Structure 1
Amino acid sequence: MIEVIGHGGSPEYEAALKIRSALASYWPGIEDSPAEQDHVKIAANTKLAGYKVSDIDVVIAAKFARGRYFVPKSTLKDKDGRRVAGAKIRVLSLVAAIEVKGHDASGLSISNGGVSVSYKEGSKSATDQNDAQAQALKRYFSDLTRQNPWVYRSVLLTGINELPRDRGRQVPDAGAVAANFDFGGLLCSMVGIHGIGEIGNEYTISSAKPEAMESILSASIFRQVVPSNLDRKKMDRIAARPPEAIEIAGLIGDERVHLRGEGGTGKTVLLAQAAHEAFRSHAKRSLFLTYNHALTADIQRVLALLGVPSSGDCGGVDARTVMSFVYSWLRRLGAIGEDKDFEFDRYGEQCEKALELFENGLLSDEDIALAKSTNFEEFDYDAILIDEAQDWPQAEADLLVRLYGGNTISLADGMSQLVRGKATDWRSSVRDRKGTKKLPLQECLRMKGNLGQFANIVAERAGLNWKIIPNSEAAGGRVIIRDGAFKEMPDLHEELLAKARSDGCEPIDCLYCVPSAGVVTRGNRRVSVLGAAMGERGLSVWDGVDPVARRDFPRSTKENRIVQYESCRGLEGWVVVLDALDDLWAAKYRDALAEPSSLGGAIEPEVRARRAAWTWCLMAMTRPIDTLVITLSDRGSEVSQVLNRIAQAYPDIVEVA
């Protein structure tokens, strides 16, 4: 059985079809073989979220229960360097990353060192790019299976019919195939890189054990990403060409653009629109940076649906979490060891150490340029787009400015959504402040009118300096307040899903936010109590409280998205459920009380903590488009009392059981 996954019409999808045809010709009957015996999946235009490399042109995963044999036409070597000639090689399983290049011979440089391709900005190594893809794919499947699968790789050159020869030998001798390949040749190109292995007395190709291969074949990257109606609206919004986005697209990368607005005013969407327009009209490559894993996954999902690459001949749009990106730079610059993982308590110190290396002359602009040229997929961007720019550690921001320059960086500022400490200073990094394009955003573009009005009322009752202009073009909106845990309200949940379906939405279009108290550890995974309850009811869940789940975006429209409150910024849902909102308030109140104030004694600690807690609540309340559900765990809590008083005063907006 062979399955090809992807949307037609792209060179990558055509390459996937060509691989399927080559496989079917090489082993006749394999297409009709039952999946229990032979199961092959070939996915085109695959996106990974949360890894150093986002895009992989073609991914192959295959298992062969009894093994399939091939005899290489070219000479291979085993792991010890001994020549393998004329031997039957058994193929038990295969995982591979294929990079597709359509350049003709004039745009290629091929040697035994690998394949390089020519672009207007210079030559880039397709072999290095392919190797980085294989490493990212290996990490993805390792996270999924908790094992260490072997990932093969090859560069498929569809613009030439044959590889060149030097003194009668094919160049390169491994790692690439031309357009006229057969499947045996593709296997030789992959296994020839590191040599053929043995199991027992038999030469064998095996990427993973059978149980791991089952998990790999069921991975979400092999599911077709299908947009919901709300996804299509997001795609239309991003692909639209509003005047502001067109103007910003021409500026980003050369001049600072600064968007400011409260939650729900469209900062993230406008940045995405500008990045998309910069890709389409200016061939720019933009990087969208946020510290929110769930938002990164959401952006990656929309980019996948739009078919926007993270890089390519004509630019692209990438999305990464800032800490993973900065750690990649710290490793590349030698500020930390290559094997160092995140050390959250030392993160600021490590950023400062890297800055000191530049100040002391141990690192220079030449080191930055070398990193970008040799790791272009990972580091070379025309524009850097910063989400929630007010909330970055200063050393982190200063290091990013040192690496890319202040004018390359554009900002989206959540104003009163400061939750990580003192506001970040970005202004001093701009060459010409007068040239900075500032764009205040005041009208709430996400929420229907009643929801925007409700958010303003909550802010006023909470004593916050926070206000938006409710959406005048989208009337309506519903607020529901209930006592108890949402997992105990299956009837309400079914009602909400039914209403969403009648509005043309799917479960993927709903968003459920839970407090940290609603998250438990089971084995080596983190699980939300709400998600576990949904699973017991037979519902499909993307449980974004789990770091492993967050490394990929939800690929089915039937998945209910669950995140912790700390990960809700920038996200939206047709229906949004804020479960145990008063638990969030209490936790953030305690956190704020425990932190020293940057204002000294100018404000009472209890007042400051109360404002901080309500700011978090307002941030969550600006996520919905149509319906907001708030559940409360304690009737005596401040949140419960404030919201119930609002419900009594505004019964036409707020519904209480």
Structure 2
Amino acid sequence: MVEIINLSSQRLNTPEACAASDIENKASRYFSSHQGISGFLLLIPSVYTYNDIHNDIDIAIFGKFNGLETPDGYAIDSFAAAIEVKSHPAERIYKDPGHHYHVTYSDGDTDVTVQSLSQAIALKKHLNKEGIKCDFVVSTIYFRSIGEDALNTLRNGINDYSLSYDFTFEQIIEIIRKQLSPKASHNPLHANNLTIDNLTDVFSHVTAPVTLRNKFELICSESLDPLLSEIKSRNKDILISGKAGTGKTLLLLKAAMNIVENPDCNILFLTYNHALLTDIKKLLKYFPGCRLKPDDFMTIESFFQRLMRKNKIISSSINPTRSANYNKEYIKALDRLIKKAEDKEIIYYPATHFVLDEAQDLLQQEADLLYQLFPATSLLLAEGIDQKIRNENPPEWKSAETIKTLSCKRMFSNVAMFVNLLAEKLESDWHIDCTGAFPGGRIIILDHYSPTIHKSLLQTQRQHGCCNYDMLMLVDPKQTCESLDAILDSLYDGRTSENRKNEPGDDEARLYYYQSCRGVEGWTVVCFGLDRYYEDEYDKRKSKIEQTYDSETRNNAINEIALKMMIPLTRAIDSLVIVLQKEPNHFSDAIHTAASLCKDFTEYEVNVNQQDAEAHMRQHKSNSV
């Protein structure tokens, strides 16, 4: 019997994960009808190696067998293979006179045959470097969007090492035989003492927390290639714009990794919050040899305040928790810094490329200063058009061309559907495209939280291969949350600057403020007192909502509140838990309505007096007229 192990996260609809599932299914059918064969077949999608140059290997496959023979009697005791996956339609694939396959992107053509051979060489080097003796790696190309007839037309009578979407596992075995037999190699992995654990040990990302592993596989996936190709083709400052969970930060990271492959280039990467920086630095540890380093990353305010100190405008940091006039002090120092830049007297951090996440949070003065410091084509920006925290009036990036990210890459389909419905009930036009989202997900609505509930949620996510790190817990800084006290010692408390100096361990669930959660995610996300948070934001805009006859002003205020809620609500991958803490209000009413429309995947465990809820809904509508 052959044991088949597919180490895909199984939670992504990336081409690589889908292709690995295709191969797993075909292999399962083959080995079930060949019971005399024993051993294992190991599939690892999205492998990253870094030797002379980096390679994203779409799928690495390893086999160790006893009794596997081809029809002509050739025995295969072991093999390693690198499979290049392409999803292009037939009209964007061609074969040159030298019999190399090419595919077309917006910035030009790519020689897929060379790409495939490069992946095989990179995988062989990586295995030998990590102590797995390997004499040869088989290379093949899987065109998963075209059938055998279309591929035969491209082959033009020459049998090669390519696969169509209707391939059989017998074809893979035949490709292995054709590449091994000229070398008279039956056991290129020297597999006598080889185990699955030996192999998985050399690919550290397969043991990463699920949230980081998903990001790893997305970064290594060809699903980002069209957007990366578009960025490269424009040769201008680029602004990536999209909603929460559409992959903006991952696209920035992948682009930054590609940039620093050139030893003459270096990066400065800024983002709004410490939580995301911690997440990014933890993620980079799973990319061996990557030239991006922790010192290449900092927060937006850290960068500008370091510039202020470097230019002797301030002697120590302006701290918002210690300064009653923080905004005035910061703007005054910023204006002096801009004057120095205008006079060409500024000292700054030299970088060939400047990468900025959460670009919507910058003040216009900060954006203008960046334009003065960094030359055209060196700015790569991403903005969350629905996620404003630091600045309600996003800056204008005059010279940047916009590229939009549209599809949901984080939330499972049920979670995305619920959040879309909730946005509608909150009278917002917010909506995310979830047509390509991974199926599944659940919603849990509670009016209390306890250590027992906490333990149950952790146990449930462990069944999906998650560790404690994959749970994200969110609160508002203005609220007290007594239900957290009993479990606080087991959490990574990212609310304090002292704790943020250390990164969370895999055995620690993470706790952050709502305002600090952009860019981070959790398999399970627990939102405490989101109804109170909604009420606080409502109170800030009460006069615009209840005391104005201008419908546009009212609608804008209502939409602003809803967008604030969308930031924490879009952090979950599989399980979104909302713990309500107030008497019924418009938010809890909207939650109840959305939950009633999503009964198949929603657990609603709130003891609310229905008459009170209905009375509150009538009152809210009356106030809003």
Q: What TM-score comes out, normalization by structure 1 length? A: 0.55
1:351 aligns with 2:321: no
1:534 aligns with 2:483: no
**Aligned pair in 2 of structure 1 residues 585, 274: CA closer, same or farther (>3 Å)?**
same
Aligned counterpart, 2:357: 387
For residues 228 and 408 of structure 1, what CA distance do their matches in structure 2 show?
Answer: 33
CA contact (8 A) 1:579 1:632 kept: yes
CA contact (8 A) 1:250 1:278 kept: no
For residues 471 and 597 of structure 2, what CA distance do their matches in structure 1 show?
Answer: 28
1:279 aligns with 2:257: no
Q: Which amino acid aligns with 1:305?
A: Y
Q: Which amino acid aligns with 2:226?
A: E
Find the partner of 2:530 among 569, 573, 581: 581
Aligned counterpart, 1:562: 511
**Aligned pair in 2 of structure 1 residues 549, 471: CA closer, same or farther (>3 Å)?**
farther
**Partner SS, residue 305 of structure 1:** coil
1:494 aligns with 2:455: yes
Aligned counterpart, 2:199: none
1:332 aligns with 2:306: no
Shift of 1:647: 1.4
Aligned counterpart, 1:413: 383
For residues 602 and 296 of structure 2, what CA distance do their matches in structure 1 show?
Answer: 40
Aligned counterpart, 1:510: 471
**Partner SS, residue 296 of structure 2:** strand
Q: Which amino acid aligns with 2:467?
A: E
**Partner SS, residue 533 of structure 1:** helix
Shift of 1:392: 1.6
Aligned counterpart, 1:452: 416
Aligned counterpart, 2:239: 258
Shift of 1:446: 0.5
**Aligned pair in 2 of structure 1 residues 277, 636: CA closer, same or farther (>3 Å)?**
same
For residues 646 and 311 of structure 1, what CA distance do their matches in structure 2 show?
Answer: 43
Moved more, 240-249 or 469-478: 240-249
Q: Which amino acid aligns with 2:358?
A: E
Shift of 1:269: 1.4
For residues 401 and 228 of structure 1, what CA distance do their matches in structure 2 show?
Answer: 38
Find the partner of 1:247 among 229, 234, 259: 229
Residue deviations 1:452-507 (CA, integer Å, cap 9, x gap): 111111111112121111143511110111113x3x3x222222111111100101
Aligned counterpart, 1:120: none
CA contact (8 A) 1:446 1:624 kept: yes
Q: Which amino acid aligns with 2:465?
A: G
**Aligned pair in 2 of structure 1 residues 283, 245: CA closer, same or farther (>3 Å)?**
farther
Residue deviations 1:318-368 (CA, integer Å, cap 9, x gap): 221110111111111232235765653221222122112334x3xx1xx44
Structure with greater strand percent: 1
Moved more, 301-310 or 269-278: 301-310
Shift of 1:621: 0.9
Aligned counterpart, 1:234: 215
For residues 212 and 381 of structure 2, what CA distance do their matches in structure 1 show?
Answer: 25
**Partner SS, residue 427 of structure 1:** coil
Give the alignment's Cα RMSD to 1 decimal. 3.0
**Aligned pair in 2 of structure 1 residues 246, 266: CA closer, same or farther (>3 Å)?**
closer
CA contact (8 A) 2:441 2:575 kept: yes
Counting only pairs closer than 5 Å after superposition, residues 397-436 of structure 1 correspond to structure 2 as 397-405=367-375, 407-428=377-398, 430=399, 436=401
Counting only pairs closer than 5 Å after superposition, residues 2-21 of structure 1 correspond to structure 2 as none
Q: Which runs of 5+ in 2 are unaligned?
A: 1-203, 606-625
Find the partner of 1:306 among 272, 287, 311: 287
**Partner SS, residue 253 of structure 2:** helix
Identical counterparts, % of pairs: 28
Residue deviations 1:581-616 (CA, integer Å, cap 9, x gap): 11111222233458x99xx98557665443222211
CA contact (8 A) 2:388 2:564 kept: no
CA contact (8 A) 2:244 2:384 kept: yes
1:464 aligns with 2:425: no
Q: Which amino acid aligns with 2:527?
A: L
Shift of 1:644: 0.6
Shift of 1:287: 2.4
CA contact (8 A) 1:289 1:322 kept: yes
CA contact (8 A) 1:444 1:468 kept: yes
Residue deviations 1:606-633 (CA, integer Å, cap 9, x gap): 6544322221111211111111000101
Aligned counterpart, 1:650: 598
For residues 288 and 230 of structure 2, what CA distance do their matches in structure 1 show?
Answer: 22
For residues 245 and 263 of structure 2, what CA distance do their matches in structure 1 show?
Answer: 28
Shift of 1:516: 1.4
For residues 458 and 257 of structure 2, what CA distance do their matches in structure 1 show?
Answer: 32
Find the partner of 1:474 among 425, 438, 443: 438
**Partner SS, residue 278 of structure 2:** helix
Aligned counterpart, 1:176: none
For residues 281 and 598 of structure 2, what CA distance do their matches in structure 1 show?
Answer: 39
For residues 422 and 318 of structure 2, what CA distance do their matches in structure 1 show?
Answer: 44
CA contact (8 A) 2:491 2:510 kept: yes
1:543 aligns with 2:521: no
**Partner SS, residue 446 of structure 2:** strand
Aligned counterpart, 2:157: none
CA contact (8 A) 2:443 2:575 kept: yes
Aligned counterpart, 2:163: none
Shift of 1:234: 2.0
CA contact (8 A) 1:279 1:317 kept: no
Q: Which runs of 5+ in 1 are unaligned?
A: 1-223, 373-378, 520-527
For residues 341 and 262 of structure 2, what CA distance do their matches in structure 1 show?
Answer: 35
**Aligned pair in 2 of structure 1 residues 574, 309: CA closer, same or farther (>3 Å)?**
same
For residues 483 and 577 of structure 2, what CA distance do their matches in structure 1 show?
Answer: 14
Q: Which amino acid aligns with 1:274?
A: A
Shift of 1:542: 0.9
Shift of 1:566: 0.3
Find the partner of 1:628 among 571, 576, 590: 576
Residue deviations 1:26-82 (CA, integer Å, cap 9, x gap): xxxxxxxxxxxxxxxxxxxxxxxxxxxxxxxxxxxxxxxxxxxxxxxxxxxxxxxxx
**Partner SS, residue 536 of structure 2:** helix
